[in-house]
Structures are given as C-alpha cells and as structure tokens.
Structure 1
Amino acid sequence: MNEDEVDPAGEGQSLSAAESLDLIARQHERTRRELRTSPARLLGVWALAWLVGWGLVYLSDHRAGALLPGWAAAVVVGVLFVCAIGYTAWHSTRVSRGIRGPSRRIGRMYGWAWVISFGSMYLVDLRLTDLLGDRPDVIALLWSGTSMLLTGALYLAGGMLWQDPLPYGFGAWISVCGGLSVLIGVPGNFLVLSLAGGGGFAVAAVVFVVRDRKGRAAR
C-alpha cells in the first residue's frame, strides 16, 4: 500500500487519496448533523408563544372586544413562555455539546448576556411599575416596549458577534417594532407583539430553513 492509499477498515480494501478525502468529508458531515440542532425550531417555538400568547392578551382587552377573560389570557401566556424558555435551555445545552475552545466560551457568554440583561430589566421595570401606581396602560407599554427593545438589541449583538445578517436583521426588526408598539399604545401594542414580533420569529425561522437547505445543496 503506498502513501496515496489507506485501509480504513483493516480489511485489505485500499482507497485512493480522493476516496479517502471524500470519506473524511462524509464522516465530518454526519458528525455535524448529529451535533447540530436547528435554530429554526427554536425560532418557531418563540413564534408560537408570541403569536398566540400576545394575540390572546390583545383579544382579552375590553377595547378589542374582550373575547376572553384576562386571567385566561395571562395563564396561556405564562404557560407558553415557560415552555419556550424551557425549550431554549434544552436547545442551548444540546448546541453546546461537543463544542470546545473559544466558540464554547463565546456561546456561554452570549447566553449569560440574555440572563443578566433581562434580569436587570425586570428589576428596573418592577421599580418603575411601583412608582407609576395605578396606570395600567403606561405599565403595559413599559414592559412590552423594554422587552422588545432588549430582545432586538441582543439579536443585533449576536448578528455582529457571528457576522450573520439573519439575526442582525431580525434584531433590527424587533427593535423597530418595540418603538412602534409604544407609539401605537394599548391595546394595539399587544397586536404588534403578536403579529410583528411573533411573525418576525416565524419569518426568521423560514429564512433560516431556506438558507440551510441551499447550503446543503451547494456542498
């Protein structure tokens, strides 16, 4: 057997250099598929939570017809967001499996950026809610507006970090929607959260699927 041939199975079957490279490439692709979890699924989960959850909150407002009790909408929102957060945690754990070095460290730092940022935002909003007193519309605009702006800013940061126009563009969209939701006022802000926010997650998921399929077809 010369230097251009290998016997990967130890069965006397020789492969040329080109065949060996092709085998390595196929094994690498198989490993990559096993380790990869689709971000499209994660985006789809959040699309469902925003579309259904905030849509029901909008429909529970008396100015939108009060088609269902407010407490029911609140329960559905709570369940959907707890499930979405749980799926996000599972997804993040699976994505980080098998990753080592700087990429793993950057991923962890970015994940903690979400936890720290939203934890701090909740403290600020809770204090402002207490100071505002009995002004439910202003409080609703505060929480929805700050949540969307922070979500958009973190996606913008992720897009810059990984040099990916998809999360960057999505972050820009969510940031703009956050500003518009405050200008529109209550209860229209919940409709913006549902249709523009949840719809943005859904579109991003579809774009990612299309881009991923084109990338596989090109290999």
Structure 2
Amino acid sequence: MDSKQTGKPAPDQALNVGETLALIAAEDQYVRRRVHADPTLLFTVWGGAWLIGFGAAYLAHGPKPVIPGWLGAAVPAVLLAAAWIVSIGYALRVGRGVSGPSRTVAAMYGWSWTLGFGCLAVVNTTLIRHGLTSDNAAMLWSASALLLVGVLYLAGGMVWQDKVQYGLGAWSMVCAAGAVCAGVPGNFLVQSLAGGGGFLALAGYHRFRSTAAPGRRS
C-alpha cells in the first residue's frame, strides 16, 4: 500500500520537508547577515580615522610641531575619506536586502553623502578665500565635516531605526561642537581622543557582546 492509499507522506517526503525548513532557516540567517552590517566594524573604522587622523593634525599644529604641516592635513583627509567610503558601503549594504520604496530611500540616502560633502567643500573653500585665518579654516573644515557626518548618520538611524547609526551621529555632533570650543590646536586633540577614543570604546563593547553571545545580534 503506497502513500496515496494511506494518506500519509512517505518517509522521503517528510525528510524533504525537514530539509526545506532547514534551508529556509539558513537562508534567513544569511539575509540577516547581509542586510545588517557589523557595528564593530563601523565604529572601528571611524575611531581609527579620528584617532590617527586628528592625532596627526595635532602633532603638526601643536606648540612644537612634530611632523610637517602638509602631512598633518593629508593624513586626516585620506583617513576620513576612507571612512566615508565605508559608510556609504554600510548604507548600501543595509538597503541591499530591500526593494520598492525602501530601496529608493537607501539610494537617496547614499547620494545625500556625495551632495552634502560636495556643497560643503564649495562653502568652506569660498569662506576661506574671503579671508579666514589658517586656524579658523582648520576649525571650519574639521567641525563642519564632522557636523555633516553627524546629521547624515542621525538621518540614517531614523530611516532604518538603527541605534548604531543614530548614536554615531549624535557622538559626531557633540565632538564637533566640543572641538570648536577648544580652539586650535586643542580641537584636534579633542577630536582625536574624545571622538576616536569614544568610537573605539564602542567598538570594543560591541565586540565583547558578540563574543560573549555568539548567537545574539549586536
């Protein structure tokens, strides 16, 4: 008597159902990993860029400069640009697993970074040409760039309800404001230690959580 006569599934059919459920579960975990970037990586990238980049700027503008001025300007520029590229990749990765209006929002958010920094470069360059001192120009570039980063991350955190992005944006804005109050060259030291150190501390926290609870998402 076969399965059609008894009304019961054959053993191989039951096995296929189990394998299908396992495959669905595995695919779900894969999609989750693809859509949600690791906050440890994000905090480490920005923390390293701030700590090393603005640390180099401080060494070039301190009371007794340790490195050439051009190097103090080039190092943070290169590192922050690299962190910016990683941030765009983060946003694209978050939006990769969605479609429809959500995908459009992700694309608009990614382009807002390019538009924002392009316009910021025009504004800051024009202001400097109108007679800003070198110290004021240094504060303008560093504070305005970090303020823009903070606003963009706040927006991204609200759009995707991502507390990691939102916290990153809030901390960026606080450090930008504190750096301006410190003046030059103290602003570079504040951004290096408070900004970079704060991000690296958060990276360590998320790393500890993921290590302590491997099955738990950060």
Residue 12 of structure 2 is matched in structure 1 by: 12
Matches within 5 A, 1:61-100: 61-63=61-63, 65-89=64-88, 96-100=95-99
TM-score, reference length from structure 2:
0.78
Q: Give structure 1 stretches of 5+ with no counterpart.
A: none
Deviation at 1:146, TM superposition (A): 1.1
Residue 128 of structure 1 is matched in structure 2 by: 127
Q: Which residue of 136, 140, 143 corresponds with 1:142?
A: 140
In the alignment, residue 48 of structure 2 is paired with which amino acid? L
Residue 166 of structure 1 is matched in structure 2 by: 164
Matches of 1:29 and 1:118 in 2, distance apart? Answer: 35
Q: Which residue of 141, 152, 170 corresponds with 2:150?
A: 152
Q: Which residue of 178, 181, 188 corresponds with 1:180?
A: 178
Matches within 5 A, 1:98-109: 98-109=97-108
Figure out how many residues of one structure are paired with residues of the other and give that number.
Answer: 212
Matches of 1:32 and 1:6 in 2, distance apart? Answer: 33
Matches within 5 A, 1:16-27: 21-27=21-27
Deviation at 1:157, TM superposition (A): 1.3
Residues 51 and 113 from structure 1, CA distance in 2 versus in 1: closer, same or farther, beyond 3 angstroms? Answer: same
Question: Are the counterparts in 1 of residues 153 and 165 from structure 2 also a CA contact under 8 Å?
Answer: yes
In the alignment, residue 111 of structure 1 is paired with which amino acid? G
TM-score, reference length from structure 1:
0.78
Deviation at 1:181, TM superposition (A): 1.0
Residues 168 and 24 from structure 1, CA distance in 2 versus in 1: closer, same or farther, beyond 3 angstroms? Answer: same
Residue 198 of structure 2 is matched in structure 1 by: 200
Residues 113 and 200 from structure 1, CA distance in 2 versus in 1: closer, same or farther, beyond 3 angstroms? Answer: farther
Q: Give structure 2 stretches of 5+ with no counterpart.
A: none
Deviations 1:118-165, CA, capped at 9 Å, x for gaps? 2111111111111124x1111111112211211111111122212233
Question: Are the counterparts in 1 of residues 92 and 107 from structure 2 also a CA contact under 8 Å?
Answer: no
Deviation at 1:18, TM superposition (A): 7.4
Residue 28 of structure 1 is matched in structure 2 by: 28
Alpha-carbon RMSD across the aligned residues, in angstroms, is 3.3
In the alignment, residue 195 of structure 1 is paired with which amino acid? L
Whether 2:111 is the aligned partner of 1:112: answer: yes
- Counting aligned pairs with the same residue, the percent is 42
In the alignment, residue 111 of structure 2 is paired with which amino acid? W
In the alignment, residue 193 of structure 1 is paired with which amino acid? Q
